[in-house]
Structure 1
Amino acid sequence: MTAPIPGLPTTRPEGCPFDPPAELAELRPLTRMVYPDGHVGWLTTSHELVRAVLADSRFSARYELMHYPFPGGPDEIPPAMPGDLTGIDAPEHTRFRELLAGRFTVRRMRLLTERVAEICAEQLDTMAQQGPPTDLVTAYAQPVPALTICELLGVPYADHEFFQRTVRTLTSTSAGMEDQGAALTALYEYLHELVLAKRRSPTDDLLSDLTTSDLDDVELSGLGTFLLGAGMDTTANMIALGTFALLTNPDQLGELRDGWSTVDEAVEELLRYLSIAHTGARAALTDVELGGELVRAGETVTVSLQAANRDPARFPDPDTLDLTRHAAGHVALGHGIHQCLGQQLARVEMRVAFPALLKRFPTLRLAVDAADVPLRTDSNIHGVHGLPVTW
């Protein structure tokens, strides 16, 4: 048997901010891997096997059953708080998912399109008034999804800097357990006070709507924490990193700006190409045959979503950004029962945000060299810390 690799490859190719670590392409489809705590588990980079793991109920999403794949992480991962859909299994997961499914339908999210367009226009107006250069992250990429999710949940946008700061700590791969625990507690306590207020005086929003469900205060506060964090951070990074990718691929930017590719196709290809939520994991609940290998009960399987989305067996010429590509089947939003609940909301935001930006500022370009854009490399959500642009 081949010796296990000594850890998860995390270093991206120099000068290629959108590409996964080159070693991942050499490790297909399934490889033994030593985790930072000494556990010997698995890494899969194959599109087929990643989907198989994510769709198989014999693999658990429970945090406390897994080993952490990034260096410097905890020896033991605490269980998910109630309402954190990414770290629980059925039937608990099913209960929360069914409660929310009707509130995040394609139809309902499309009805939000007009409001998202208004939010985008307001932020672009402010950018135009202030003039170039500006940081697209703080001027546009963060406010658009933050305003949207805050309005949807009924959370005061005035506190968005607190939310964004705590979420950055929670998604950092270098923050210690103490810092992450403190950030999670602070965010949860904020939502808990808000839930109690909405029980007393409901308003027209999702959290108030959920106060009539069978969720208790702890569950609803945890669910609100999960939804706020997920809805704010991921789409913000997609808008910022996606714009960076377009500005460094001017032929593709022209495809979208001039209407040669549809915005729906463009969004799916950007999701595939960037794969900002790049790594996940599952724990085997029983012995499972996977890709001709036996994964034993208790072993952790790390799934590389970024490598799966660059698998040439599924996507021809996968390292090329092609906005005319039919990228259906990518795993940027997960797969199986844990596929991103808010994926339709994220799609609505991106389908509005990218064309609105390019239409308002057709000469948009980087204000610094691409090599000087600060990448978010210490997080399990890939992105940029800032994106200086001008027009």
Structure 2
Amino acid sequence: MIIWLAFVAAGLLLLFMLMTGMLDDAIPDDERRKKWTEVINQILNALFTIMCLYQHPKIFHHLVLLLRWRPDGDREEIRKVYCKDGASRPHDRAHMLVVVVLLHVTCFAQYYCCALFWSYTRKDRPDWALNIGYGLGTGCPVVAGLYTAYSPLGRKEPDTEESAAAAPAEAAAAAQDHNSRTENDDVEIKIYNRRVVVSSPEWSGGLFDCCDDGTVCALSATCTFCVFGWNMKRLGFGNMYVHAFTFILLCVAPFLIFSVTALNIHDDEIRDTVVAVGVLLGFCGFLYGGFWRSQMRKRYKLPGGRSAWWWCGSAAVGDCAKWLFCWTCALAQEVRTANFYDVEDDRFVAVLGARNGEGAPCLCRSRASRPPRRTHGACRARPCLTTRRAAAAG
């Protein structure tokens, strides 16, 4: 986002200076100034199209949640995005649908403008059609923001009658859920001894210990986007498909869009520069993985690394650098770590008092149906001292 804002700010500043005549002395030729204006407009069009492609999977997911409207998670998830404090509002589904439709219109208006920029030259492009796209693309998000703020979605307190009517049902559901959880906890204590929260978890192996799990390493290298989305879902960071498609678009869309934009620029040096910028932005798309690695580390209290001084003393910078220069190793380490622990209430949990296949006490994962695997960390299943001595004596 910061990189995108920097490019947009620079482009808007140059466009403002060209339109106000501040660069007339530097570029005295009027035709040349028009060419530069067209180049900057093409670049800004590409940047705004990339941002719409980045946001559109999330907006589509919100539309699916509104149309599906299931009580077991969909309503709470969408209310956290559009309702103040995530609380229920009267007719909130209809109000949120209005906002989501306006955001969809914004994205499609930008795609419409992008098609005009790519299909017509500067002299043949119809101004009225472009102005319609500009109006919709600018007005719809403003209306959506105002509607969210001043409609019932933005009110501080939910409707009193609806809350009073829903209170008994919610209390009964909470009591039933509490009883079922208590019963499940009793069963788990009997079967698995005791589930414990891992207060100081560790990464499963080092960054370059890819051979610890060859399957995970191979999938991380060949199916990076799919594995990333699947891992984010089971760690509780959102929808799998939204993450996968967003990651793909962030890495692929800048290169494709800037390459097509370069075809409409009739200057070899500027064309090569635009293509290079597209390649650079596509490479920076891997920062998306670094950002979520940082979120995973913070939520589950994973260590940031011993060599923090390499990354200017910031573990977040280190997370992004690992994804930029070795995304396969970083993703494989994240998947191995998620395989090693169980996730419960945004925490890593394990089982205390379990025994491995040889009868030795160990701290292991709670899914007893899965066979023990070779891993790193405090929960590694290994023979006890008595077993090793007996094997050595034999």
Query: What TM-score range do you get, normalising by the shorter chain?
Result: under 0.3
Q: Scaled by the length of structure 2, what TM-score is found?
A: 0.23
Q: Scaled by the length of structure 1, what TM-score is found?
A: 0.23
Return the structure number with greater relative CO, CA threshold 8 A, min gap 6: 1
Higher strand share: 1
